[in-house]
């Protein structure tokens, strides 16, 4: 039976590496966007020899557990029938393993537009990850064309090994005081924090689109602010409420365990993701409507009463000042809460240092 030409149908649309924490993983990943064309409907089980060729050329695929959860799981998926993007994911990981990089995280999901797929691969070296993804797609094309040979894989592994000897850009390690994201006035949060005494250079305002495409540009932040989970600069797929919450919650990945993430009231999904990341939650609202459910998990609360920001921390109430012009009310309230959290952390650090100094003096 004549099949469509896989070299024409299965196409690489885009390729990028992401070094910081990102939508898919806290680890560096390579993202490859794929158009399978006619092979969106033609599985490995429907083309004779695909599974045998892949396993002969890449015997390590037997170790891939895949969704079945046991050795040989991916080979079972091949025999039952799976598709080009998923196969490329596993081949890309296996190529890296064959040249000595211990990687295991990968995903193949629906892409930014109908008919497209996004393949994500963990990598240890950015150039190796990107090239492994591209080579994996070529190997998948060859497998569906009946032209895959072990020599092709050996050459690919040798090429990747040579790339691994080249210098690699380091992961982001910069430390900042605060990272801010959301579909709202993130610049207003940064500007208002500056007005309250925080250096603008210590606050990084990130649109959700930047988070999606580039990941976090820093390694650690003392606190984070999620202004909302309503991204407006990302493909429609990532505006789905669950995916949108996952995307904006990436800023929590840079906050140390026990640190604070400022979250909107009523968005319990965002609050839960911050807590799952090991962070404490501070909740804000531009109205006087923080609920008991919000307050139950919040280490601090900020809301607006009579045009003024009211902060509630540790059972005490503080005046956060009047709402002003410029930034949106949400940005102003979130900024006031973030600055108060930073000051509280600085105060706790000072108290801890004083206690240590006192204990040392007693010992002397």
Statement to judge: residues 102 and 227 lie in one domain = no
Which residue, 169, 183, 179, 177, is CA-closest to 197? 177
Give the CATH number, domain containing residue 276.
3.40.1190.10
**Phi, psi torsion values for 338, nearest 5 degrees:** -65, -40
Quick check: pTM over 0.95?
no
In a domain, residue 185? The reply is: yes
What is the total residue count of the chain?
364
Q: What is the pLDDT of residue 170?
A: 93
| Domain closes at, from 141, 164, 187 | 164
Statement to judge: residues 45 and 110 lie in one domain = yes
Q: What is the pLDDT of residue 350?
A: 42
In a domain, residue 76? The reply is: yes
Which residue, 244, 185, 175, is CA-closest to 209? 244
In a domain, residue 39? The reply is: yes
In sequence order, the β-bridge partners of residue 302 are: 284, 311
Statement to judge: residues 195 and 245 lie in one domain = yes
Statement to judge: residues 241 and 336 lie in one domain = yes
**Phi, psi torsion values for 207, nearest 5 degrees:** -75, 155
- Locate 349 and state its tokens: 């650090």
In a domain, residue 364? The reply is: no
In a domain, residue 362? The reply is: no
Number of domains in the chain: 2
| Domain closes at, from 103, 130, 164 | 164
Q: What is the pLDDT of residue 347?
A: 60
| Domain closes at, from 109, 132, 164 | 164
Statement to judge: residues 275 and 156 lie in one domain = no
Which domain range does residue 346 map to? 175-357
Statement to judge: residues 257 and 150 lie in one domain = no
Statement to judge: residues 30 and 157 lie in one domain = yes
Q: What is the pLDDT of residue 348?
A: 62
Q: What is the pLDDT of residue 2?
A: 86
Statement to judge: residues 226 and 323 lie in one domain = yes
- Locate 359 and state its tokens: 């204990």
In a domain, residue 245? The reply is: yes
Q: What is the pLDDT of residue 360?
A: 40
Per-10-residue mean pLDDT of the chain, 364 residues long, equals 93 97 96 98 97 98 96 97 98 98 96 96 98 98 98 98 96 97 98 96 97 97 98 96 98 97 98 97 97 95 97 94 94 98 74 40 37
Q: Roughly what angle, to the nearest 10 degrees, separates helices 50-57 and 126-145?
A: 140
Statement to judge: residues 220 and 327 lie in one domain = yes
In a domain, residue 250? The reply is: yes
Statement to judge: residues 157 and 301 lie in one domain = no
Q: What is the pLDDT of residue 362?
A: 40
In a domain, residue 170? The reply is: no
Statement to judge: residues 185 and 158 lie in one domain = no
Statement to judge: residues 186 and 155 lie in one domain = no
């Amino acid at each position: 039976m004549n099949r469509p030409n896989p070299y024409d149908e299965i196409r690489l649309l885009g390729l990028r590496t992401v070094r910081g924490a990102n939508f898919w993983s806290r680890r560096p990943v390579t993202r490859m966007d794929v158009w399978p064309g006619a092979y969106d409907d033609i599985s490995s089980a429907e083309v004779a020899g695909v599974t045998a060729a892949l396993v002969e050329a890449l015997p390590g695929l037997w170790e891939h557990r895949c969704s079945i959860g046991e050795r040989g799981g991916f080979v079972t998926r091949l025999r039952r029938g799976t598709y080009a993007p998923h196969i490329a994911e596993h081949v890309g990981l296996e190529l890296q393993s064959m040249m000595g990089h211990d990687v295991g995280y990968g995903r193949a999901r629906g892409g930014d537009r109908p008919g497209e797929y996004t393949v994500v691969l963990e990598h240890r070296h950015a150039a190796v990850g990107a090239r492994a993804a591209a080579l994996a797609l070529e190997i998948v094309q060859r497998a569906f064309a009946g032209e895959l040979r072990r020599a092709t894989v050996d050459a690919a592994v040798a090429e990747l090994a040579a790339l691994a000897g080249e210098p690699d850009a380091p992961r982001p390690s910069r430390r900042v005081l605060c990272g801010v994201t959301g579909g709202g006035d993130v610049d207003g949060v940064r500007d208002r924090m500056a007005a309250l005494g925080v250096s603008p250079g210590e606050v990084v305002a990130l649109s959700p689109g930047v988070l999606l495409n580039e990941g976090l540009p820093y390694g650690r932040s003392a606190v984070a602010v999620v202004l909302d989970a309503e991204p407006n600069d990302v493909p429609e797929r990532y505006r789905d409420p669950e995916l949108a919450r996952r995307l904006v919650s990436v800023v929590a990945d840079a906050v140390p365990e026990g640190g604070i993430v400022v979250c909107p009231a009523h968005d319990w999904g965002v609050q839960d993701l911050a807590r799952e990341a090991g962070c404490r939650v501070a909740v804000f609202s531009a109205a006087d409507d923080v609920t008991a459910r919000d307050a139950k998990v919040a280490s601090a609360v900020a809301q607006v009463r009579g045009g003024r920001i009211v902060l509630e921390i540790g059972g005490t109430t503080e005046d956060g000042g009047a709402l002003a012009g410029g930034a949106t009310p949400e940005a102003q309230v979130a900024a006031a809460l973030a600055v108060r959290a930073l000051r509280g952390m600085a105060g706790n650090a000072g108290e801890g240092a004083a206690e240590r100094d006192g204990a040392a003096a007693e010992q002397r």
